[in-house]
Structure 1
């Protein structure tokens, strides 16, 4: 997961108070929406929470906009103010927008936050939505995100919430989050039979806080955001889906992508092939 936009970067006010929470007390992860325009900023939401609601700070632990950009709210280990009486036990993440506004990029970032929360806590946290928590009678986070959470928060193989491929983005756009290449210099995603520098996902190695499988899935998911048909039963990764274990299907997908972008066609996913997916506009 790329680093969230820090509080100082989005101009957050200082909190009036804060209560820290041990990871041992975290049991769930709750998805919200702001129910306002996608143009809302974290600062506007914070102002409403502090001045309108009288809270000590913005209510959420993190926020995500339509582009998939993640903003730091209260952070990982501070109790929120998003879903009483679950503010201590549950991490609250808010999508900035209305029902139906959440893009595949936004959902992928929310899922990345969930995966990171599970990694930090050392166990699988409950996936929940605001209106599904006891004592919270609300439509939040809307029917689209609610259905997505109930389906297990999928990304890659139908990560947009339905079975149809996402529409191709327009030329010149750069969809999704901006993940830098996660492997050390000289390493690449490749077969398990290769040297130590070949990272396959077979051995669950960890780089920059995420497993190799998670990173490889992230790369293939990004191709899906760029308009490629990726996932079980689709054009690429059709047999095994986006499982994060490098094999013939990932090699074929990498070769097809490299060929389309005018890169060296070797089927290995190194820095150049990674950066082309995450940092080069769709052409």
Structure 2
């Protein structure tokens, strides 16, 4: 089972986000450069200790770790302990009711599904799945996570 922080918060939920970047953002750059830029936004621009997300998924489906899963993230105000934050590269201009395919790639779809299943395996129990838009008045991640995960049009 995955626990976060000294208080040992068991992980109970994955929350999906997007970077709100255009599909062409850092297009010819490796994922490590993109993660470093997001980390810069979070550390230098917001004053956080580290990148807020635990995982980042690039347009080609590549996955890279951000913050360790054993550390409490900084991705949803009031809902960080016991959650894993996953961010998809892209989503600029997306709406809360968009279809996944409107803003993200098939490779990202497959990678996100694999990552969710891997996290479920590490958690060792039931786990909720949600989008940032379920906790904040914003479109992020740019689709309805539950509908998408169940195989619907979102």
State whether TM-score is above 0.5.
yes
2:104 aligned with 1:109, yes or no?
A: no
CA-CA distance at 1:101 after TM superposition: 2.5
2:146 aligned with 1:150, yes or no?
A: yes
2:40 aligned with 1:47, yes or no?
A: yes
For structure 1, which runs of at least 5 residues remain unmatched after alignment? 1-17, 163-283
CA-CA distance at 1:137 after TM superposition: 2.0
Q: Relative contact order (alpha carbons < 8 A, sep ≥ 6): 1 or 2 greater?
A: 2
Alpha-carbon separation, structure 2, partners of 1:87 and 1:57 = 14
Q: Is the 8 A contact 1:64 1:110 kept in 2?
A: yes
2:89 equivalent in structure 1:
96
CA-CA distance at 1:124 after TM superposition: 2.2
Alpha-carbon separation, structure 2, partners of 1:90 and 1:20 = 15
Deviations for 1:15-40, whole angstroms, at most 9, x for unmatched residues? xxx94674x62111100001112334
Alpha-carbon separation, structure 2, partners of 1:20 and 1:81 = 16
**DSSP 3-state at the match of 1:151:** helix
Structure 1's 63 and 31: CA in aligned 2 closer, same or farther, altered over 3 A?
A: same
Q: How many residue pairs get matched?
A: 134
TM-score normalized with structure 1 length = 0.44
Structure 1's 35 and 87: CA in aligned 2 closer, same or farther, altered over 3 A?
A: same
Which one has the bigger strand percentage? 2
Of the two, which has the highest radius of gyration? 1
For structure 2, which runs of at least 5 residues remain unmatched after alignment? 27-33, 95-101
2:137 equivalent in structure 1:
137
* Structure 1 segments of 4+ aligned residues over 3 angstroms from their partners: 18-22
Correspondence for 1:34 among 8, 19, 34: 19
Alpha-carbon separation, structure 1, partners of 2:61 and 2:117 = 15
| CA RMSD of superposed structures (Å) | 2.2
1:82 equivalent in structure 2:
75
